[in-house]
Amino acid sequence: MAIEVHILGSSSATPIFDRHPTSQLVRVLHHTFLVDCGEGTQMQLTRYHHKASKISHIFISHLHGDHYLGLVGLLSTMNLQGRKTPLFLYGPPGLAEIVTVQLKYSESRFNFPVHLKELEGDKLYTILEEDKYKVEAFPLEHRIPCYGFRFTLKKTNRKLNKSKLPEDLSLLQLGALKKGLDVFDENGNIRIHNQDVTFDPLPEVSYSYCSDTCYTPHLAEWLRGTNLLYHESTFTSDFAERAKETFHSTAAQAAQIAKDMKVKKLILGHFSARYKDLHPLLDEARSVFPYSFLGIEGQTFIVNQS
């Protein structure tokens, strides 16, 4: 089992140099999530052969246009294509008003349910949870309310080694073994040692998405140990003051967060239009955190649970 991250857009503010505003497709098990939806996202979905109809949840980090201006267009296309399944939409306060106003003045309506939940809170908290995975949101430090997201594949139960199991075990006893417990006989003695008949569970793995934010060290407290981290890296350190003024981060700062969080791999993105060549950003990040990579559009990053 794995988490897949597909980069659809990696530019900040404007499309340039064949780079598009921010958007990512994240797959967790058989669930398909869209994270941010900048201008041109639905064209990028088509370009990289992803079906919009499979998207079940959309997460919008904040209400700067390069992160949401493609949303209503995408929803409208879903409607034109006959979507009937519900769509779950998450975003900061104001997103519902933005969508509603556009539908009002175009005299449009969707023929599928849209469930919208506004984000809030001042720390990491769960916004979606199923048996095998969960999605959490956390606040970032930007000019307007902005949130990041953490996608986690939960630790699995222990796997039964069927070749070593007695045939007379009940469903209750099998369930206990999956949970890591021993099986006892009627006298309270251990009949089956768990370690003798089970395999180790698959570990918890996670992907964390840090949208627009200035350097925020407390992220390491919330997201420590995440396997894969995306962190905006709009500028090189030559423009550190500009980054501070606009509540963005440099590549070195993104790398420092990755180092502090003890992650395994860092994806850089949200590149300023001033950089046609992105290697200065990559070189700066790798000088701090060697396992840094550019979030090139069309590229896929995978976090394996096994």
Would you call 36 a catalytic residue per the annotation?
no
Q: If residue 71 lies in a helix (H) or strand (E), which one and from where to where?
A: helix 71-80
User: Catalytic one among 18, 36, 66, 200?
Assistant: 66
| Sequence letter at residue 181 | L
Which residue carries 């630790």 as its tokens? 155
Q: Which two tokens stand for residue 167?
A: 């045939």
Taking a C-beta distance cutoff of 8 angstroms, is the pair 268, 231 a contact? yes
Angle of CA points 167, 168, 172, to nearest 5°: 115
Crossing angle for the helix pair 251-261 and 279-286, to the nearest 10 degrees: 40
Among the listed residues 254, 251, 220, the one whose alpha carbon sits nearest the alpha carbon of residue 238: 251
Taking a C-beta distance cutoff of 8 angstroms, is the pair 226, 186 a contact? no
Taking a C-beta distance cutoff of 8 angstroms, is the pair 93, 118 a contact? yes
CA distance 31 to 257: 28
The per-residue b/e assignment along 35-59, b for 16 or more CB within 10 angstroms, e otherwise, is bbbbbbbbebbeeeebebeebebbb
Taking a C-beta distance cutoff of 8 angstroms, is the pair 154, 130 a contact? no
Q: Which two tokens stand for residue 82?
A: 């006959």
Taking a C-beta distance cutoff of 8 angstroms, is the pair 258, 284 a contact? no
Taking a C-beta distance cutoff of 8 angstroms, is the pair 251, 278 a contact? no
Taking a C-beta distance cutoff of 8 angstroms, is the pair 273, 16 a contact? yes
Annotated active-site positions, please? 66
